[in-house]
A and B are shown apart, each in its own frame.
Chain A
């Protein structure tokens, strides 16, 4: 795997589509605040926090894991993890998304959840019941392998915590901080979650991540 020297300052990466591309399911208005203000602020504030420290110049993932500090969070963690989480979130969606996965990913979901519908129900429920701010995830786990032998799990995490710092490989995420859906859906988080599943999720991206995760293990 090619390595490159991380830049001295972390940059805000744009989503892989224009800000209006997810309309009407996720409005341009929401994207302009969510990416343009929230995500940007996490990047800017993280840079301010790590300048002149030993964290400067390290990769984002490195900063994140170091500041997670085995659960005893250091101040830059919130910003670092939120930068990572939002990069991952934009990648989890695409214009014309939704529908069902196929191929190896679908087989894995059916194997570990019984059916796509059962997975979808579990993922939606995790997203709906994460109290306060947080995220819901589909993750791949091999080490440690759960006792029932399943490789795919649904997780929910509070605030900025993500599966990476917990030792999993993330495949898919949905942001359930209120800022992610309030302008478009107000209090109706379940409606937002449904639209995300039906119209936004990029199964291509999820499949690609599963392939990478499996090739690392092989």
Chain B
């Protein structure tokens, strides 16, 4: 399979002229729809942990498809709600969970990653570092736990480090398909999510998901996770 030329531009999505941060747009019917958020780094910036080819496909094809289908589902939901069509509203829930979840999860994922020059892989300090040591014993123990659960996940899904904002406790959870972390508990806030769908690693790591999991920690953006944790557990 020939490698397509890698783009160094982060995204082509802003061609429509909509807002570039998280890409929320409002159509003439007052319905908020979404567009592909920019990556804060180039596609090749996470190499060799994650290949530029994967980053480009993952962002431009997979994430974009979730957004396109989420927008479609939202339009259909808007219609069904205006007509008071309850069966149609309920029937659309799975499309919303799949595609909306895909958009939510991937938006978090791009922030969870950073090039090494940008602090990727640098261990968390401050309150999050302390909480990890306190709860899991060490950062390494947390990594081993997340890698084990990520490797054992059957099919497609995510492995998460989250914080229960009510209990002020760190948790490791997995979710299936594109279910967001909140489906495992309404007070769970995602700090780090690792995509273990095969599209996230297959071109580079093939069937060896454990190698992908081992290597992704080199580009995990603990700065983002620490800031978020500090907000939830001041």
Known A33-B207, A38-B207, A160-B154; judge A183-B98 contact (CB<8 A). Answer: no
The residue that B202 contacts in the complex, of A41, A131, A133, A182, with Cβ under 8 A, is A182
Cα separation A38 to B208 with both chains bound (whole Å): 10
Residue numbers in A under 8 Å from B207 (CB-CB): 33, 37-38, 41, 179
Please determine whether B199 and A182 come into contact, CB atoms closer than 8 angstroms.
Answer: yes
User: Do A133 and B65 form a contact, CB below 8 Å, given A179-B198, A179-B202?
Assistant: no
Question: In the complex, how many angstroms separate the beta carbon of A165 from the nearest chain B beta carbon?
Answer: 15
A residues 177-218 near B (Cβ < 8 Å) are 177-179, 182-184, 186-187
The count of chain B contact residues (Cβ–Cβ below 8 Å) is: 21
Residues on A with C-beta less than 8 A from B154 are 78, 159-160
User: Does B90 belong to the interface (CB within 8 Å)?
Assistant: no
* A183 nearest CB across to chain B (Å): 7
Q: Is A167 in the interface zone, CB < 8 Å from B?
A: no
User: Closest chain B residue to A27 by CB distance?
Assistant: B1
Map CB proximity to A onto B94-133 as digits: 1 under 8 Å, 0 otherwise: 1000100000000000000000000000000000000000
**Is A132 located at the chain interface by the 8 A CB criterion?**
yes
A187, B65: Cβ atoms closer than 8 Å: yes
A158 at the interface (CB under 8 A from B): yes
Give the residues in chain B near A38, CB-CB below 8 Å.
Answer: 207
A178 near B199 with CB under 8 A, answer: yes
Beyond A182-B199, A184-B1, 6 extra complex contacts between A and B, CB < 8 Å: A160-B155, A178-B198, A178-B202, A179-B198, A186-B57, A187-B61
A to B CB contacts below 8 Å, 25 in the list: A27-B1, A37-B206, A37-B207, A38-B207, A131-B98, A132-B155, A132-B156, A132-B157, A132-B178, A133-B155, A133-B198, A160-B155, A177-B155, A178-B197, A178-B198, A178-B199, A178-B202, A179-B198, A179-B202, A179-B207, A183-B203, A183-B206, A184-B1, A187-B62, A187-B199
List residues of chain A with CB under 8 Å of any chain B CB: 27, 33, 37-38, 41, 78, 131-134, 158-160, 177-179, 182-184, 186-187
